[in-house]
Amino acid sequence: MASQPILLDYWPSIFGMRARVALREKGVEFEYKVGDLTNKSPLLLQSNPIHKKIPVLIHNGKPVCESLNVVHYVDEAWPDKNPFFPSDPYGRAHARFWDDFVDKKFSEAQFKIWGKKGEEQEEGKKEFIEAVKILESELGDKPYFGGDSFGYVDSLITFYSWFQAYEKFGNFSIEAKSPKLIAWAKRCMEKESVSKSLSDSEKIVA
Amino acid sequence: MASQPILLDYWPSIFGMRARVALREKGVEFEYKVGDLTNKSPLLLQSNPIHKKIPVLIHNGKPVCESLNVVHYVDEAWPDKNPFFPSDPYGRAHARFWDDFVDKKFSEAQFKIWGKKGEEQEEGKKEFIEAVKILESELGDKPYFGGDSFGYVDSLITFYSWFQAYEKFGNFSIEAKSPKLIAWAKRCMEKESVSKSLSDSEKIVA
């Protein structure tokens, strides 16, 4: 008998939230183990000895590590409901390209906004807005990045929970710079899989 | 009628070689366009406007960018011959995890060996050997990373073409530190798809 999957997570993690959204999009019940990053659990260290990072999804006793990999795995392990990828090879490659962009460009830029000061922070703001503009152009007039339904690239929604923190630390308005991305984010937030998975922005700012 | 794919590449690129190996593993004929990184072609800039980097595989007029994404695409577009991934979701996630490890850890460490000097270079050598040890432990006694046949993770073989350069720049012997990985590399080099795709090590050193 297949056991219920276990998600090792940390509450404010954008990457942990990705795994939560993916599991809820598939309607998968999971055991949620929220850890403390300053005192990593033996289960986390044993499940991800290479990177020692959350999220880790343990399914049938086997650990899957790295958030995009977890999302990908969830899609393949529960293929019947809400597929995250298009079925054609080009569409799939296109989706992977954009999630890689998010992890490389968007993720690095946002870190500079809240993790750095002065010149580096200003550079981060500039890169962040550039990345947002590129993402808005990719979104175009579609409701979701993949088209009419929520998919792999839309998992970038989890960054939205930190937007308030970026605005506070960076002293700028994201909505003024990127109204289309904000409209998309609000659309995603209407989905229970998303709203239930994203941590409270006020708590993150605090 | 489907047109012959075009590969935009640069001869010493480890990442370009990945795409070459993948296409040859599948027995796909392709048009090979070797560019000059100091004077990027209009076709490259138009095909990969975001990163402006090779490799790009243009298939049926559509560009696929980023080397692991190209390998993944090649596997999905030509699924019948030599599948690069196992068929089960966990095995697939496991393969993606290790290629991500190679791109994050191995790739960064090797860059420090030939691209940096002094303390940073020494750090690079240390990280490189650590990464090699981890990879050797993952390989274990299997002929290839995926088991009995060449697969997704084995595409890391393209780094082997630079080993001679790392040894020269870093003044150390990789084989002395990692005999099992070298034995695996030599095994991969017996495959025509690999030996035909890897650029000449002497030329890279020069």
On whether the CB atoms of residues A86 and A146 are closer than 8 A, the answer is yes
Written in H, E and C, the secondary structure of A111-132 is: HHHHHCCHHHHHHHHHHHHHHH
Percentage of chain A beyond pLDDT 70 is 99
B96 contacts A50? CB cut-off 8 A? no
pLDDT of A94 higher than 60: yes
| Residue that the structure tokens 């509450």 belong to | A11
Does residue B65 sit at the A interface (CB-CB below 8 Å)? yes
The length of chain B, given as a count of residues: 206
Nearest to B69 among A60, A97, A134 (CB): A97
pLDDT at A1: 47
Mean pLDDT along residues A118-144: 94
Tell me the C-alpha distance between B3 and A85, whole Å.
25
Nearest by CB to A96, which of B72, B92, B101?
B72
**What is the SS3 assignment for B11-34?**
CCCHHHHHHHHHHHHCCCCCEEEE
Of A60, A66, A93, the CB nearest to B100: A66
| Separation in Å, CA B11 to CA B25, B62, B67, B81, B125 | 19, 22, 14, 26, 25
Interface residue of A28, A92, A99, A108 to substitute, partner B, most B CBs within 10 Å: A92
Measured between CA atoms, the residue of chain A closest to residue B59 is A90
What would the DSSP string read from start to end of A143-184?
SBTTBSS--SGGGGGGGGGGHHHHHHHHTS-HHHH-HHHHHH
> How, if at all, do strands A31-34 and A6-9 pair?
parallel
Bridge partner residues of A171 (DSSP)? none
Chain A contact present for B31, CB below 8 A: no
Chain A CB within 8 Å of residue B97 CB: yes
* Strand, coil or helix: A59: strand
- pLDDT the model gives residue B31: 97
Cα atoms in the 13 Å half-sphere on the side-chain side of B149: 8
Q: What average pLDDT does range B107-126 have in this prediction?
A: 89
Q: What is the pLDDT of residue B205?
A: 84
Q: Is the pLDDT of residue A77 over 60?
A: yes
Q: 38-57 in B: which are within 8 Å (CB) of A?
A: 50
pTM recorded for the entire structure: 0.94
B98-111: b (≥16 Cβ within 10 Å) or e: bbbbbbebbeebbe
What average pLDDT does range B179-198 have in this prediction? Answer: 96
Confidence of residue B107 (pLDDT cuts 50, 70, 90): confident
Q: Residues B81, B82, B86, B92: what is their CA dihedral angle, to the nearest 10 degrees?
A: -90
State yes or no: pLDDT of A121 exceeds 60. Answer: yes
User: Where does residue A151 rank: exposed (0-12), middle (13-18), buried (19+ CB within 10 A)?
Assistant: buried
CA A16 from centre of chain? 7
Contact flag A89-B77 (C-beta cutoff 8 Å): yes
| pLDDT confidence of residue A119 | 92
Interface test with A, best of B15, B58, B99, B100 (most A CBs within 10 A): B100
Helix (H, G, I), strand (E, B) or coil at A16: helix
**Is B134 in the A-facing interface, judged by CB distances under 8 Å?**
yes
- Residue B77 contacts A, CB cutoff 8 Å: yes
Q: Which of B57, B74, B96 to mutate to test the interface with A (most CBs of A within 10 A)?
A: B96
DSSP assignment string, B41-93: -HHHHHH-TTT--S-EEEETTEEEESHHHHHHHHHHHS-SSS-SS-SSHHHHH
Q: How is residue A198 written in tokens? A: 């994203």
pLDDT tens across A1-10, in order? 467 999 999 9
User: What distance in Å separates residue A117's CA from the closest CA in chain B?
Assistant: 25
Strand order in the sheet with B6-9: B31-34, B6-9, B56-59, B62-65
**A94 to chain B: closest CA residue:** B64
Residue B64 burial (CB < 10 Å; 0-12/13-18/19+)? buried
At residue A2, the pLDDT reads 62
Quote the pLDDT of residue A106.
Answer: 84
Burial bucket for residue B141 (CB in 10 Å: 0-12, 13-18, 19+): exposed
On the question of pLDDT at B1 being above 80, the answer is no
B138 — pLDDT class (breaks 50, 70, 90): very high
Shortest CA distance from A69: residue in chain B: B93
Task: Compute the nearest-CA separation of A93 from chain B (Å).
Answer: 6
Is B89's CB within 8 Å of A77's CB?
Answer: yes
Q: Could you tell me if A97 lies within 8 Å of chain B, comparing CB atoms? A: yes
Mean pLDDT of B125-137: 93
Query: Of B50, B77, B134, which is closest to A134 when you measure between CB atoms?
Result: B50
A108 near B CB under 8 A: no
Whether residue A174 is predicted with pLDDT greater than 80 in this model: the reply is yes
- Interchain CB contact of A66 with B (< 8 Å): yes
